[in-house]
Amino acid sequence: MSVGRLLGVGTGLLTLTLLAGCAADPGSKPVDVAGGVPVGAVLALTGNANVYGQDQKIGLELALQHRNGAGGINGNPLKLALEDSGSDEPGANAAFTLQINRGVLALIGPTLSQQAFSADPIAQRRGVPVVAPSNTATGIPEIGFFISRVSAQSSVIAPLAIERALKIQPGLKRAAVFYAQDDAYSTAETTIFQKALKEKGLDPVTVQRTQLNDQDFQNQISAALREKPDLIVLSLQAVDGGNLIRQLRELGYKGLIVAGNGMNTPNIYPICQKYCDGLLIAQAYSPELDTPANTAFLKAFQAAKGGAIPPQLTAQAYTALQVIGDALVRLDKRQPLKGATLTAARKALMEEILAGTYATPLGEIRFTPEGEVIQSQFFVAQVRMDPGGRSGRFALLK
Amino acid sequence: MDAALLEQMLLGALLALSVYLPLRCGQLSLATPGFYAVGGYVAALLSTGVPAFAGSGATSPLPALLAEMVLGGALAGLIALAIGGPVLRLRGIYLAIATIALVEILRVLNLNLPFTGGAMGIFGIPQPFAHAEGYVLFTLALLALACWLCQRLEALRLGRAMAAIRDDELAAACVGIDTPRTKLIAFVASAVLAGVTGALAAHFFNSWNARAGSFDASITTLAFVVFGGSRLWPGPVLGGLVLTALPELLRPVGDLRLILFGAVILLGPLFFPQGLVTAERLHWLAARLGRGRHRGRQAPQAP
């Protein structure tokens, strides 16, 4: 056998094995509720967005405990399969496909808006409901009928922090803006921030572009500080944003800093440490909300994390699984899941999700027919670091 | 195995072949992801912006995909042709650095041009195939064609000229090989292959943005070739398939999977410095498999 023929035969065999191994679409099979009602989650547990995924994972675990403690889906427990998507699009696509082939009824995720634009169309084509816990960019629910989110989009939340900054310091004149030009979330949010600034008569004196994976921001900061800004507005993710704040303060900036949703996690504390202090961030969640749903969530979180205050990402992830759980309970009562085909059950579940009103830790929420969340209350928090600079909290501003 | 992962593996193998082509000629070019991104943008822009390519919006016709692949490959090839002359005067690590710079320039352009959608990129790209299986068959055909061309190259004057340049450029020039032209052909062929792959990948990934062509991607594609072996085309194909699949196949080990993946990349070149696929191993394998069939006969010579 010649080497050429060997290669030909090898390629042929490889092709056959690979094709034979292709998983068939389980959509026409009945829902497999034997080991519990299957729901999938896809989070960024590795890569530069892992700090968000960690917060979200706790939220999902708590919501799962809560749901199964309250009888699961009418007596059958909810079964959650969690997969890591990394922080990029191919990872999210692969994890989504894997979960869909496993036969999950609904998906939670992915963590980043950028990943959602790539992975959500897969779920839409296969007819699998998606509840996004943290995508804030414009245009996510518009991907299709099966895509919804519990995270309010940045155009609703972001301007609140600017308003608050002007309330704290009415004389603000010179705003400087930073954003990561290679990141979908950052570029989408900075447009909203810049529009809000202009509406308040605060035309940015400088707009500095960074890169998502940058560590050193000395050039951009020096250029911005030459313009003598009294307000700095950041649309950056947790790791690059935390580093930029530390360097800003080290280079002598004393004024107010407003950050976007990307830094809305206590995981920034170890990055910017004492320099995080005073950071203003608009919130879609308030730990002080006095409703039974939030009290239960708060209690469960504090029991698990030794009295810490839950971050927004955790509350939103909890909400996402709660929404799916509540909708499943209602659906199962109306038309039992057992025996229904997967495709039919998924479609009915999506209709059920959109139709409901939910008492969640975020307050009472419901959805537009497109799948956009309708939430009544938003908040602004300021980071207060402990004297040692090791730990801190998001203090709500009244 | 899942068809979507299989498709990613096949795309990885095609990109690996694109890195292999200049290496076959002794040129370490890391420009592949840049051309890959260009091809993807051509497909993304055409299929979301031009009605004839867009089809019904959700699905796009197959001839449109073929046309996009031709155009994407052509544009990538033209860029390579334009810059190949000056860039290929550089050698070794300097060529690698220049091609990294090219990838960066293309990336920053893609982030800032008015029509490429910035960091968000272009999304909602229509699908020529309803299922991933369709992509797999199509990409498999493309990969088979690329492999066949690489195999043909072994027997052609061009292929032998490329091998001669890889072994000793000065000696090759002395026996009358037009070394600049041969190197340029290899570089352009590599760009065309990457551009065609990008056009296909843009549809498969639904969205396309500047992160497709980053420095990280340069290193990943280089790893395919280093891991699989750079002397024969089955090396990069194997490297591309294995290294794309590995992070997904390692999912059962949980949090350790990326550490294990890193260990494999580290140990591969350590124990197999020539890559997994070498001529000796192929001959050994061919002899082993051939022994049953050609009992008593001498193993035939390799082509």
B121/A6 Cβ within 8 A? no
Chain A: give the shortest CA distance to residue B271, in Å: 24
Number of structural domains in chain A: 2
Closest CB from A4, A84, A117 relative to B151: A4
Q: What is the pLDDT of residue A20?
A: 52
A184/B121 Cβ within 8 A? yes
d(CA B255, CA B88) in angstroms, rounded, equals 43
A22/B1 Cβ within 8 A? yes
Give the mean pLDDT of A298-320: 93
CATH number at residue A129: 3.40.50.2300
Q: Which domain holds residue A117?
A: 37-152+291-367
B294 touches chain A (CB under 8 A): yes
Cβ–Cβ < 8 Å for A366, A148: no
Q: Which residue has the higher pLDDT, B127 or A79?
A: A79
β-partners of residue A83 are A42
Q: Report whether pLDDT(A19) > 60.
A: no
Q: Are residues A56 and A148 in the same domain?
A: yes
Q: Are residues A317 and A279 in the same domain?
A: no
Whether A276 is in a domain gets the answer yes
With tokens 């920034």, the residue in question is A268
Residues of A in contact with B121 (CB under 8 A): 117, 184
Q: Report whether pLDDT(B249) > 70.
A: yes
B282/A3 Cβ within 8 A? yes
Phi, psi of B169 (to 5 degrees): -65, -40
Q: Are residues A165 and A268 in the same domain?
A: yes
Whether A270 is in a domain gets the answer yes
CA B221 to chain centre: 7
Alpha helices in chain B (DSSP H): 3-24, 32-49, 51-54, 62-87, 92-112, 132-155, 157-167, 169-174, 179-205, 215-228, 234-249, 257-271, 279-293
**Residues B184-237: tens digit of each pLDDT:** 999 999 999 999 999 999 999 988 988 888 898 999 999 999 999 999 999 999
Whether A168 is in a domain gets the answer yes
**Residues A30-51: tens digit of each pLDDT:** 898 888 999 999 999 988 888 8
B296 — pLDDT class (breaks 50, 70, 90): very low
A181/B112 Cβ within 8 A? yes
Q: Are residues A308 and A226 in the same domain?
A: no
B303 touches chain A (CB under 8 A): yes
Instruction: Using CA coordinates, name the residue in chain B closest to A95.
Output: B248
B119/A182 Cβ within 8 A? yes
Token pair of A130 as six digits: 């998606």
Q: Is the peptide bond before A361 cis (omega within 30 degrees of 0)?
A: no
Q: Are residues A42 and A82 in the same domain?
A: yes
A312 — pLDDT class (breaks 50, 70, 90): very high
B302 — pLDDT class (breaks 50, 70, 90): very low
β-partners of residue B123 are none
Q: Which residue has the higher pLDDT, A370 or A12?
A: A370
Q: What is the pLDDT of residue A391?
A: 86
Secondary structure in 3-state letters for chain A:
CCHHHHHHHHHHHHHHHHHHHCCCCHHHCECCCCCCEEEEEEECCCCCCHHHHHHHHHHHHHHHHHHHHCCCECCECEEEEEEECCCCHHHHHHHHHHHHHHCCCCEECCCCHHHHHHHHHHHHHHCCCEEECCCCCCCCHHHCCCEEECCCCHHHHHHHHHHHHHHHCCCCCCEEEEEECCCHHHHHHHHHHHHHHHHCCCCCCEEEEECCCCCCCHHHHHHHHCCCCCEEEEECCHHHHHHHHHHHHHCCCCCEEEECHHHCCHHHHHHHHHHHCCCEEEECCCCCCCCHHHHHHHHHHHHHHCCCCCCHHHHHHHHHHHHHHHHHHHHHHHCCCCCCEHHHHHHHHHHHHHHCEEEECCEEEEECCCCCEEECCCEEEEEEECCCCCCEEEEEEC
Cβ–Cβ < 8 Å for B51, B81: no
Comparing A191-195, A222-226, A282-286, B295-299, which segment has the lowest mean pLDDT?
A: B295-299
A-contacting residues in B 96-135 (Cβ below 8 Å) = 107, 111-112, 118-121, 123-124, 127, 130-133
Closest CB from B123, B133, B234 relative to A7: B234
Instruction: Using CA coordinates, name the residue in chain A closest to B277.
Output: A7
- For residue B226, give the amino acid letter: V
A17 — pLDDT class (breaks 50, 70, 90): low
Give the mean pLDDT of A267-277: 92
Instruction: Using CA coordinates, name the residue in chain B closest to A189.
Output: B120
Cβ–Cβ < 8 Å for A88, A104: no
Strands A280-283, A78-84: pairing is unpaired
A3/B283 Cβ within 8 A? yes
Whether A21 is in a domain gets the answer no
Q: Locate the domains of chain B by residue range.
A: 3-215
Q: Report whether pLDDT(A288) > 90.
A: no
The count of C-alpha atoms lying within 13 angstroms of the C-alpha of B261, restricted to the half-sphere facing its C-beta, is 20
* Among A373, A374, A324, residue whose Cα is nearest residue A353: A324
Chain A: give the shortest CA distance to residue B67, in Å: 23
Give the mean pLDDT of B132-155: 94
Give the mean pLDDT of B45-68: 82
**Residues A163-218: tens digit of each pLDDT:** 999 999 999 999 999 999 888 889 889 999 999 999 999 989 999 999 988 899 99
Q: Are residues A143 and A161 in the same domain?
A: no
Cβ–Cβ < 8 Å for A149, A166: no
Comparing B52-56, B67-71, B198-202, which segment has the lowest mean pLDDT?
A: B52-56
B59 touches chain A (CB under 8 A): no
Q: Are residues A148 and A159 in the same domain?
A: no
Instruction: Using CA coordinates, name the residue in chain A closest to B11.
Output: A90
Whether A373 is in a domain gets the answer no
B280 touches chain A (CB under 8 A): no
B136 touches chain A (CB under 8 A): yes
A118/B206 Cβ within 8 A? yes
Closest CB from A1, A45, A94 relative to B289: A1
Give the mean pLDDT of B271-278: 91
Instruction: Using CA coordinates, name the residue in chain A closest to B206.
Output: A118
B283/A46 Cβ within 8 A? no
ipTM of model: 0.73
Task: Note the pTM of the prediction, 2 decimals.
Answer: 0.82
Cβ–Cβ < 8 Å for A224, A170: no
Q: Are residues A196 and A207 in the same domain?
A: yes
Q: Are residues A272 and A334 in the same domain?
A: no
**Residues A119-136: tens digit of each pLDDT:** 999 999 889 999 999 999
Whether A94 is in a domain gets the answer yes
Whether A305 is in a domain gets the answer yes
Q: Are residues A144 and A162 in the same domain?
A: no
Q: Are residues A169 and A255 in the same domain?
A: yes
A183/B207 Cβ within 8 A? no
Best to test chain A binding among B56, B205, B233, B277 (most A CBs inside 10 Å): B205
Q: What is the pLDDT of residue B126?
A: 86
* Among A343, A314, A337, residue whose Cα is nearest residue A133: A314
Q: Are residues A168 and A279 in the same domain?
A: yes
**Residues A218-260: tens digit of each pLDDT:** 999 999 999 999 999 999 999 999 999 999 999 999 999 999 9
B54 — pLDDT class (breaks 50, 70, 90): confident
A-contacting residues in B 11-50 (Cβ below 8 Å) = none
Best to test chain B binding among A18, A84, A190 (most B CBs inside 10 Å): A18
Q: What is the pLDDT of residue B292?
A: 57
* Among A301, A206, A197, A214, residue whose Cα is nearest residue A258: A197
